[in-house]
A and B are shown apart, each in its own frame.
Chain A
């Protein structure tokens, strides 16, 4: 059980949160212009890294805000948390 520092509410238990997969995958602005392969890249392809991973989290049983997290998946250490739209910390 992680202790997650929600950028809006502060430290809360993991059970209040929902994980939302890889972060910084922007929905294409003009989907109709994309080839099948390009659309599939957006739709299906996700990284599964052992190590530093950027991911989306939602404070589902709290403020319901989405935010980003940098997590080391090898030891579950949370390296950084930042709001949606903010720049990710440099690696």
Chain B
């Protein structure tokens, strides 16, 4: 099993650097430069995994990112494990461990393989058809479906690696470093364009770099040799940056591209540590040159999926680039000349090529002649009708094709082989091109979709643009470069290219077998096990849209996104339905081109950086005093301050009592603060608040309610007049940014004539709110020279004062119903202010309280919290706050909406108080309210918006919105809960100190 299939030392493989790695627990050896796939092939390992649905043994098909079959789990059982990795893209390193996926107990013996024999009972849409009925069985089915879904296993512990994002700007981005990309990048950079060249592989040069056939010459050199010289010359060019192992995942409009740069995946584990693993490049390019090349197509024939069946181009790359023979007995199956190049490559290395099966009648190109001279048997007009070998290809059976290519005739010939290279022509890799929004057109002659209508500054060069021969590639590249970059001459003007290549190709999407289609398995999508007969079944069942057929059969829905088989699926649909392929169109190519890790997408935004947060200047004190925090908008606010083992309830009860009986202090720094200045400031406030502002005296404060134009409450807060043309507005903590945005919007777009300037000063001030009957005494201790008498400093007024040298603004305003002061100082003095208050309040047992107690205290007073007691559907009238809506003002934002028929309905939900008949039961916020218990269906009248146990009233209180609640005072209602009905009575929402006597206490 472990015979080494190295055929010749390759310059890309460092045979002095032997690397051991494990596959399915067994140790193998490869060399530096090997991919996991090439190293496994060198060890004669073809069986890599099992297919998704039928669990058929599958091997390595390709040598690149389009690989559908050889997907493996890397470093299983570690926190760096990664599922669904293409073995063809993994560079091996010492200690690498890979394992097969989707098989149990092992890839060699997989229980799920029974599905292969059950396949007649697992047609397209099997799950949709089977699990539809009876509906009650779904829960039972679900267990099995979930169990069999998915391929690899995701890691269960957190990712130890670092990921990064970087913005990149360039004049020209070249995607793909094959011959076209290299020449494009070189000429762009030489003409002073800041150029970035990226390629997903670790080596530059694409497929030309190992192109050693004698039929093509560039400047009398073979293309590989010539290109190496060009690559060498790239090194000295300034303006040119080259990134290898960098795969462009997405191409968005306006030439915005996302690429993943792989930095450590090829390194040994010990060298990965503390390095950035992958970096997401966010590239903004003035011009994009797509040189993404072409992908070889397979051929669709019966049992075309066995391990050992590969793309012809892959067989060639393994032999030329990696120096690995994929098989000891090779056969090729083709519809064009490409397979002959691969066959010759093997022949020249002394690897046995038994036959070439060609569906064409003949070809007279030089390369075919050369193959004939080599004595390799060619079967013209023949097709493979079947293959044998369960875990590794053993033989192929061929028959003569009828003239029209729809059936086979004559006798069957069996050819024994262990590797089959298939060559079905080339598909330009237009994925990124279409992602950019550009449109394709179908080239009937060559059966390919080609770039047609560009939507951004972009060109497609080389084979992704439809040029397959090297002379045409260079000629068209030259012209496209000159046009796109507006340059007169390039390096390419004087290149001499000799080409001897034939384009002849015979296209048959689905090759016939001697068996009826129903008895065959011609796979179109290897990873998802979609066969040609599934596609035909979908069409018979009435599906027509390509997007529907795709989803019904799952063709192209694997991790490879159908890079190999999609064209055949389209071809078979078009042929069967009698539609032209150009009219059928393609399914949408969506990003990413190849899968991205979550780490790459998230970058540095993990852990503490997942979401930004803001802390107040007093935060350290809260921390030191064991506060629990809650998130309010982006702020971390002190929630409550438990002492010893207090529960939240106990802490809040204690804090609430203290604030009413002696003194409490709240960190109110998070409230939004907007500085408003200008000669029209008063008029502006008149327009944005529901109440009147013109007559507010300097030094006075007023509560305002702000509506949306639809009449619904948007925000509230106290605004203070600091001077003739100067106000400071406070907003809710969460609404600050939106309020500022809304006010700016009106000023800039509706009322540009107003002389008003808005400045957000939320972060500039720290605010301590002193509250309770002893707050006045505490403030007096801090600022002895300030006259705090009701005459000089009444409720709803403002003073400027000094605490030592610190200037402060003090508002006598209250959100608790108690005598209170809000003291504002420059943010940097916030902690100092807080400590001074705590010290001065010590003799009064000043109690710091958090947001929960604040909510409780204001609920006792029936004060609303915008966003808790309102939800964007409440007008001030609904809130029973008619008193704040000016009748005199001609207009304000939202006024007209208050007179719409809908907002004037009597049966709107209105804010009321609720008292439970049993004063100890605290209602659940969000619970529904009904008036009848035995109604069916029961009519929901509304819900609880705020609910607490009030320690000051010694009973449960709640605020609720109830349909028609305004006229229900004293009415008995019910709150039905899971296991009991709670009796409640509608009450006045102001539960405590209805006459506001405590404000002046």
Measured CB to CB, the residues of A under 8 A from B are: 1-3, 13, 18, 20, 26-28, 30-32, 34, 36, 39-40, 43, 56, 58, 60, 64-66, 75-77, 84-85
Contact = CB atoms under 8 A, between A and B. Distances in A.
B113 interface: no
B900 A40 contact: yes
B896 A76 contact: no
B256 A43 contact: no
Contacts of A1: 252-254, 256
B745 A20 contact: yes
Contacts of B252: 1
8 contacts: A1-B253, A2-B254, A3-B255, A31-B891, A34-B896, A39-B897, A66-B748, A77-B455
A36 B905 CA distance: 14
A34 B709 CA distance: 14
Contacts of A75: 253, 437, 455
Contacts of A34: 896
Interface in B855-906: 890-891, 895-897, 899-901
Interface string B337-350: 00000000000000
B896 A32 contact: yes
Nearest to B456: A77
Contacts of B255: 3
B752 A85 contact: yes
Given A1-B254, A32-B890, A84 B437 contact: no
B750 interface: yes
A32 B892 CA distance: 10
Nearest to A40: B900
Contacts of B901: 36
Given A3-B284, A32-B890, A84-B748, A39 B253 contact: no
Output the residue of B256, B455, B748, B752 with the most chain A CB within 10 A: B748
Contacts of A18: 741
A26 B254 CA distance: 31
Contact of B750 (A2, A27, A60, A64): A27
Nearest to A76: B253
A3 B896 contact: no
A3 B256 contact: yes
B895 to A, nearest CB: 7
A1 B254 CA distance: 7
Contact of B437 (A13, A43, A76): A76
A51 B899 CA distance: 36
Contacts of A28: 896
Contact of A66 (B254, B437, B749, B891): B749
B936 to A, nearest CB: 35
Given A18-B741, A58-B745, 19 more contacts: A2-B253, A2-B254, A3-B255, A27-B709, A27-B750, A28-B896, A31-B896, A32-B890, A32-B891, A39-B900, A43-B709, A43-B897, A58-B741, A64-B744, A66-B744, A77-B455, A84-B748, A84-B749, A85-B752
Nearest to A67: B748
Nearest to A68: B749
Nearest to A20: B745
B710 interface: yes
Interface in B731-762: 741, 744-745, 748-750, 752
A29 to B, nearest CB: 9
A64 B749 CA distance: 12
Interface residues of B, number: 25
Contacts of A65: 748
A30 B284 CA distance: 47
Contacts, number: 57
Contacts of A20: 745
A58 B741 CA distance: 9
A78 to B, nearest CB: 9
Contacts of A39: 896-897, 900
A68 to B, nearest CB: 10
Contacts of B748: 65-66, 84
Given A13-B284, A66-B749, A43 B710 contact: yes
A26 B709 CA distance: 13
Given A3-B256, A31-B891, A84 B741 contact: no
A36 B437 contact: no
Contacts of A2: 253-254
Contacts of B437: 75-76
A2 B437 CA distance: 13
The 9 closest A-B CB pairs, nearest first, are A31-B896, A1-B256, A3-B254, A66-B748, A27-B750, A39-B896, A76-B253, A2-B254, A1-B252
Contacts of B900: 36, 39-40
Interface string B240-279: 0000000000001111100000000000000000000000
B791 to A, nearest CB: 41
Contacts of B254: 1-3
B757 to A, nearest CB: 12
A75 to B, nearest CB: 6
A64 B747 CA distance: 12
Contacts of A77: 455
A75 B252 CA distance: 11
Contacts of A84: 748-749, 752
A2 B255 CA distance: 9
Nearest to A85: B752
A84 B751 CA distance: 11
B881 to A, nearest CB: 21
Contacts of A3: 254-256, 284
Contacts of A66: 744-745, 748-749
Interface string B436-472: 0100000000000000000100000000000000000
Contacts of B744: 64, 66
Contacts of B745: 20, 58, 66
B256 A60 contact: no
A18 B740 CA distance: 14
Nearest to A4: B254
A74 B562 CA distance: 27
Contacts of A56: 749
Contacts of B891: 30-32
Interface string B700-742: 0000000001100000000000000000000000000000010
A75 B437 CA distance: 7
A2 B456 CA distance: 12
A2 to B, nearest CB: 5
B253 A32 contact: no
Contacts of B896: 28, 31-32, 34, 39
B687 to A, nearest CB: 10
A39 B253 CA distance: 38
A24 B622 CA distance: 49
Contacts of A13: 256, 284
B737 to A, nearest CB: 9
Contacts of A32: 890-891, 895-896, 899
A64 B737 CA distance: 12
Nearest to B711: A43
B741 A31 contact: no
Contacts of A40: 900
A2 B890 CA distance: 42
B709 A60 contact: no
Interface in B890-931: 890-891, 895-897, 899-901
B739 to A, nearest CB: 14
A43 to B, nearest CB: 6
Most buried by B among A43, A56, A77: A43
A36 B437 CA distance: 43
Contacts of A64: 744
A79 to B, nearest CB: 14
Contacts of B253: 1-2, 75-76
Nearest to A3: B254
Contacts of B709: 27, 43
B458 to A, nearest CB: 14
User: Looking at B252, B254, B710, which has the most chain A CB atoms within 10 Å of its CB?
Assistant: B254
A66 B746 CA distance: 10
